[in-house]
Structure 1
């Protein structure tokens, strides 16, 4: 009788920053670190210099072997000759998301940052920031279009109303094994509700469920989650 070879898996998480989930509360960051470590994940710090077929090379010369590499990172900004705030390589915008150095050009999302003279900090590079900026910009462009038919250079003669204000609704993250983090503070230094554990996982799943478009799909997703919670994941294969 032949038995398949036993496959031993090792998981490593390589982070460039000094700690994972740096935007979360200190206690939540420590909880996530401890939870991942207990789950068998090796946390490493370093900057990737080269990627080869079976190893990655860090900036300090360390070789990290791997079998499967999952790359999760951002991209660098393209060269764009516009005024930038000194805090980073973003396109400089004012309180109405206008690019100050070019007429009739707006920018939003993580490619844009408020100019220093606006007195506003650079917003976090999150999808919820871009979503709110997009809704604000839609209303603003419709207002400009109705006032003067959307003619070129007409925006500077039209009162634009209240500037864009971002109110952070909070951050959530799953850390595996039915555990999650919920941080409802308005900013990194503010006080607020911070939760971790199974209850946070339920809150995280509930928030995700509200983003599903139809009630039909919400029901299907909820039933699938409940089945997985009770019976575990179905890893069976046919053939």
Structure 2
């Protein structure tokens, strides 16, 4: 049995506490002692794949350890609602540490992995200054400490952890396509922190525009909101944004109603391409009542600060700097001033996948199985590389979600394709070879439940994973939605009721199943809370 150790501070032990039968903190020695005869399954990530897998594994058979920089699971379909106050942020969260959970949790992120030794290198992230701060990406909050101090504070201690089985479910980042200024200035919608930043910025734009010293030219740009991406996330957010303006902001700021503009931009020639033409056409017709949709528009740059405004003096320099300039190309170049830009245009590889799993490595024969004959192993160690999808950079797996290997480019003789024993990848960071399953929560959750069932039964080599689509849906504002299923489609108010009902049922905990309808009702009766705090 491998001995686990802390690399930097091996003698430091966290205090042991117990709450409702679950260890709230645990040292590496305690973790090793509690393993008994169980296999240790280390899960990287607490998203749809990792969180559902951890909750489904048999604790009598496996010692499950979740490693993630986020101490919570995010119910992503509700983020658009939380960003405008239709729901509160807690309703979209499930704490990883909870009463009755039968797994351990460590707040950290994987830095490296040694597949030959079956060890993962983890960096603690509890003191990471990027955790829990608003506006880190869009410059809302600034850390005034010297650069050296900020870097040192973000570097948590490293420790090594042995695994018997490793599950890589680290998720993905928003795709920016290398467009200048997008990473630094755009607002994304992947996490609750993103939703908090959007909500704070939205209210800030209205309050600034309501000031008697703000000229009309600035009001128009402050209240011009852009959404880049015509997929379900972008369209749902534009629908929620239209709702809060028509339901609340138009009553609370009647003098600003004429200046508000919401625009959806997409490089494609149509929105919602995953829906059939009838449903996409219905959505476009409905959402156009309050939202401008501009397709075939390419984003060239996003920079902080409004473009030059005639008739506005230096007195308003601080207000001008609070906005953004979106450079567009649609046959000709143009610049648009925006209060904020929400970016929702696809996914890119997580840095752990892109960097830590990009180097070639040598693994003993016991860690590798050849795909040509699943019972065979290579005769000796060889130089391998984790296979990546050529377009998305995602980890390529077989039908059993096992990480596929290819021969290293530096190897003198090509090796046959193989898989890593006891290493699985699922969620947005992985793709099954030869399939085109969408990168959605539905696919990730089904993969997690399938893998848990196989591991619990110990029959991983039987029938492989197959995705069963339960349909797709999107909210389009004003209590209307579209739903597409194999057996038919639905639109309008009935689809909206199905949309709400499905997300309510899919919520993980009974706490949120009670809170969500309560907030829906309270905000419908009394209006959304627009306090800034």
- The TM-score bracket by the shorter chain reads 0.7 to 0.9
Is 1:167 aligned with 2:452?
no
Distance 2:479 2:397 in 1: 41
Structure 1: stretches of 5+ with no match in the other structure: 145-157, 186-191
Task: Check conservation: 2:303, 2:326, Cα contact below 8 A.
Answer: yes
How far apart are 1:212 and its partner, in Å?
3.3
How far apart are 1:160 and its partner, in Å?
1.4
Q: 1:13 aligns with which of 244, 255, 264?
A: 264
Distance 1:216 1:94 in 2: 37
* TM-score normalised over the length of structure 2: 0.36
Q: Which residue of 1 aligns with 2:337?
A: 65
Distance 1:201 1:236 in 2: 24
CA RMSD of aligned residues (A): 2.8
Task: Check conservation: 1:37, 1:43, Cα contact below 8 A.
Answer: no
* 1:235–1:115 CA distance, 2 compared to 1 (3 A): closer
Task: Name which of structure 1's ranges 77-86 and 167-176 shifts more when overlaid on structure 2.
Answer: 77-86
Distance 1:58 1:124 in 2: 28
Distance 1:224 1:179 in 2: 19
* 1:66–1:213 CA distance, 2 compared to 1 (3 A): same
* 1:235–1:140 CA distance, 2 compared to 1 (3 A): closer
How far apart are 1:96 and its partner, in Å?
0.5
Q: Which residue of 2 aligns with 1:90?
A: 394
Within 5 Å, which residues of 2 pair with 1:129-168?
A: 129-144=443-458, 160-168=461-469
Task: Check conservation: 2:262, 2:290, Cα contact below 8 A.
Answer: no
How far apart are 1:23 and its partner, in Å?
0.9
Distance 2:431 2:511 in 1: 39
Task: Check conservation: 2:268, 2:295, Cα contact below 8 A.
Answer: no
Task: Name which of structure 1's ranges 197-206 and 86-95 shifts more when overlaid on structure 2.
Answer: 86-95
Distance 2:428 2:530 in 1: 41
Task: Check conservation: 1:85, 1:114, Cα contact below 8 A.
Answer: no
SS of structure 2 residue aligned to 1:204: helix
* 1:220–1:92 CA distance, 2 compared to 1 (3 A): closer
Q: Which residue of 1 aligns with 2:494?
A: 199
Q: Which residue of 2 aligns with 1:150?
A: none
Is 1:233 aligned with 2:503?
no
How far apart are 1:143 and its partner, in Å?
4.2
Structure 2: stretches of 5+ with no match in the other structure: 1-209, 213-254, 305-323, 359-384, 406-418
Is 1:47 aligned with 2:310?
no
Q: Which structure carries more relative contact order (alpha carbon 8 Å, separation 6+)?
A: 2
Provide Cα deviations, 1:185-204, integer angstroms capped at 9, x if missing partner.
2xxxxxx3111101110111
Is 1:31 aligned with 2:282?
yes
Distance 1:63 1:178 in 2: 33
Which has more radius of gyration? 2
Task: Check conservation: 2:264, 2:291, Cα contact below 8 A.
Answer: no
SS of structure 2 residue aligned to 1:201: helix
Q: Which residue of 1 aligns with 2:130?
A: none
* 1:226–1:83 CA distance, 2 compared to 1 (3 A): same
* 1:212–1:87 CA distance, 2 compared to 1 (3 A): closer
How far apart are 1:180 and its partner, in Å?
0.4
Task: Check conservation: 1:84, 1:115, Cα contact below 8 A.
Answer: no
Q: Which residue of 2 aligns with 1:108?
A: 426
Task: Check conservation: 2:269, 2:295, Cα contact below 8 A.
Answer: no
Task: Check conservation: 1:11, 1:40, Cα contact below 8 A.
Answer: yes
* 1:87–1:69 CA distance, 2 compared to 1 (3 A): closer
Provide Cα deviations, 1:124-148, integer angstroms capped at 9, x if missing partner.
110110111111222333444xxxx
SS of structure 1 residue aligned to 2:340: coil
Distance 2:483 2:264 in 1: 21
Larger strand proportion of the pair: 2
How far apart are 1:72 and its partner, in Å?
2.6
